[in-house]
Structure 1
Amino acid sequence: MTAAVIDLGTNTFHLIIAQISPDNIEVLYKTNIPVKLGEGRINDHIIVPEAYERGLLALETFQNEIRKHQVDKVKAIATSAIRSAGNGENFVKAARSYAGITIEVASGDQEAEYIFNGVKASGAIRETSLVMDIGGGSTEFIICDENGLLWKKSYNIGAARLMQAYFNSDPISQSDRQAITSHLDNELADLKKACSIYKPMQLIGSAGAFETFTAMIDGQLDLNNTPSTAIDLEAYRILSKTLQHSSHSERAAMPNLIPLRVDMIVIAAILTDYVIALSGIERLSLSTYDLKMGVLENLRQSEAG
């Protein structure tokens, strides 16, 4: 079976097309388009007209690739921006009529499960672990071990939401950082409790910002062919400090930092630092497999019966 998965993220829409058999997933094609669906008014729960149009045009482009690859099954998963937007349902209807794409709006819990399935397939989970997926609209946390999922929750603390609410200076000021930390103190009390119960030993970052951290630390690593890899914690701490004390123009000149993430990577670093401190974790790793691979893994399991 040839399957396509579309991940309609808050910042980026992703398409992956794969040949699926009961015991294998072979990726045939993948691409992404930075639609910035959360641009401008994500905290007002609105997809602005310009972002709405970019999203539909991206889906039309994806549909052309899907037809070209003669795909048998399409799964399009919408996450936080569409889930929480007052006009999100209208976008789902427009996607069906304009681009012929039927969208499933995943709940936060469903999103976390897909992410867990993807990370599990990467082979990164070898001990009790905390998985973190920083999106634009939401951030998912999953505590798991080799035997399965122990705890999960999705929070509306994505990088785009926090950036629009708190990133008011360049470089980001100490007061802005403190405001984010105070907000996280309020939001993540139950994550702290869960970590004290399950005591995860490593933090696994799911794709996205963690791929950027890894590429900036080790630019020689081929992430396209690396399902999972360790991230040197001390090297990460140095990078995080550098990012938080740099200006937009300084970050824009840094190697392996894509334009879409030049500002949001600062928020991702603050979030990651907070979670490392909250959990007391001393090991960090990357899974390049995320929601998209999790959906493909579900399809593979269905094929296997």
Structure 2
Amino acid sequence: MNKPVAVMDLGTNTFHLLIAEGKGADYKEILHLQDAVKLGEGGINKGLIQPAAFERGIIAMQNFAAHIAANGAEKVKAIATSALRGAANGQDFINEVKAKANINIEIINGDEEAAYIYKGVKAADCLTDKNSLIVDIGGGSVEFIICNQDEIKWKQSFEIGAARLMDMFHKNDPIPPESITALQLYLQDRLTPFFAAAKNYTIAHIIGSSGVFESYAGIIEINKGKLFDLKKTPYYLFEKDQLLTLIESIILSSHQQRLGNKAIIPVRVDMIVTASILTRFIIEKLDINKIAMSTNSLKEGIMADLLG
């Protein structure tokens, strides 16, 4: 019997631990933990992990190490993305995790991150022979992947994640109209290579990879009075008008209103605003009608890769 495998996705907001066993994309999940470490808090655009966030990260990794040992996982892969990529003290964090939790962290670049996200979404059987655009909105970076079930046609990572945008543009709550305008002008400028590439392909649908798209699906289903379980909803198809109406209400909402919404996890309560402005901007610029959510993302791509 193959031993379980452990994968860690150390994001700007959330650290994930996934322990599973099996073969390839058809694996059985043993444990999935997420810890709202907020590694980028207070320092994401300064390129520095702040002391409190640094300490939270170390504690989370020690906790993960205990679970890995308890489950007898032998193959272990810890992947760090935008927050650690851009932090001057990122190597200090890696060294301390090695010393205190005996876990080796590997920093990947945006291109590698996009490739793993593609593998994760592909493993969920969300892709067809038509072109899709996978959008993965993280705290530090956003990945855009134009692809089909056979190959990646174009991919790029941009350091414009929701935590970075929040730090720059969401200083008052609710976010004022002039801040929304400024944010959209910033996106127009930063995403020039993406919009130029998108013109070269007929894109049938947008697939939002986990994150904020999970919140949208949860809010819509709970508003209908239905129970919503992400574990039982690996793929979700939105009605475009319904999604855009929801996004508008999120953008206009106050912190208290978002805090009271059970479908929005605490770490996402404020970041969902800038993430929603970005989501709407992409949908409207590309004028694509079919929009879906896949719960699979980076960690599932790494897991599928590790299990062959």
Q: TM-score range by the shorter chain?
A: over 0.9
Provide the residue aligned with 2:300 in structure 1: 293
SS at match of 2:127: coil
Structure 1 runs of 4+ off > 3 angstroms?
none
Q: CA deviation at 1:254?
A: 1.9
Tell me: CA distance 1:43–1:229, structure 2 relative to 1, closer, same or farther (3 Å). Answer: same
TM-score, length of structure 2 as denominator length? 0.96
The equivalent of 1:110 in structure 2 is 112
The Cα of 1:257 is off from its aligned counterpart by 1.2
1:83 to partner: Cα distance: 0.5
| Residue aligning to 1:11 | 13
Match of 1:139 in 2: 142
Are the equivalent residues in 1 in contact too, given 2:24–2:306 (CA < 8 A)?
no
Map 1:18-37 → 2, pairs under 5 A:
18-21=20-23, 24-37=26-39
Query: SS of the residue aligned with 1:132?
Result: strand
Local SS of the residue matching 1:218: helix
User: Cα RMSD over matched residues?
Assistant: 1.1
Mapped contact 1:115–1:294 kept (Cα < 8 A): yes
Structure 1 residues 234 and 105, CA gap change in structure 2 (3 angstroms): same
Counterparts of 1:263 and 1:206, CA distance in 2: 19
Q: Which runs of 5+ in 1 are unaligned?
A: none
What is the identity, as a one-letter code, of the residue corresponding to 2:183? I
- Among all aligned residue pairs of Structure 1 and Structure 2, give the percentage whose two residues are the same amino acid: 42
Match of 1:183 among 183, 186, 201: 186
The Cα shift of 1:199 comes to 2.1
Q: Indicate the residue corresponding to 1:239 in structure 2.
A: 246
Q: Do the aligned partners of 1:24 and 1:300 also contact (CA within 8 Å) in 2?
A: no
TM-score normalised according to structure 1 size: 0.96
Aligned-residue offset at 1:168: 1.6
Do the aligned partners of residues 193 and 61 (structure 1) sit closer, same or farther apart at CA in structure 2, a change above 3 Å counting?
Answer: same
- Quote the Cα distance in structure 2 between the aligned partners of 1:208 and 1:198: 25
Deviation, 1:222, is: 2.2
Question: Distance in 2 between the 1:20 and 1:56 partners?
Answer: 29
Partner letter of residue 163 of structure 1? M
User: What is the CA deviation profile of residues 221-257 of structure 1, one whole-angstrom value per residue up to 9, with x for unaligned ones?
Assistant: 3211222121221111111111111111111112311
Measured after TM superposition, the shift of residue 294 of structure 1 is: 0.1
- CA displacement at 1:22 relative to structure 2: 5.2
Aligned equivalent of 1:76, options 78, 100, 103: 78
Alpha-carbon shift at residue 193 of structure 1 (Å): 1.1
Contact 1:170 1:248 in 2 (8 A): yes
2:264 matches 1:257: yes
The answer for the alignment partner of 1:274 in structure 2 is 281
State the AA in 2 paired with 1:212.
Answer: S
Larger deviation, residues 69-78 vs 278-287: 278-287
Paired residues, number = 301
For residues 101-123 of structure 1, give each alpha carbon's deviation from its aligned partner in whole angstroms, at most 9, with x where no partner exists: 10010110000001000001111
Are 2:6 and 2:75, in contact at CA under 8 Å, matched by a contact in 1?
Answer: yes
Residue 49 (structure 1) aligns with = 51
Unaligned runs of at least 5 residues, structure 2: none
* Equivalent residue runs for 1:209-228 within 5 Å: 209-219=212-222, 220-228=227-235
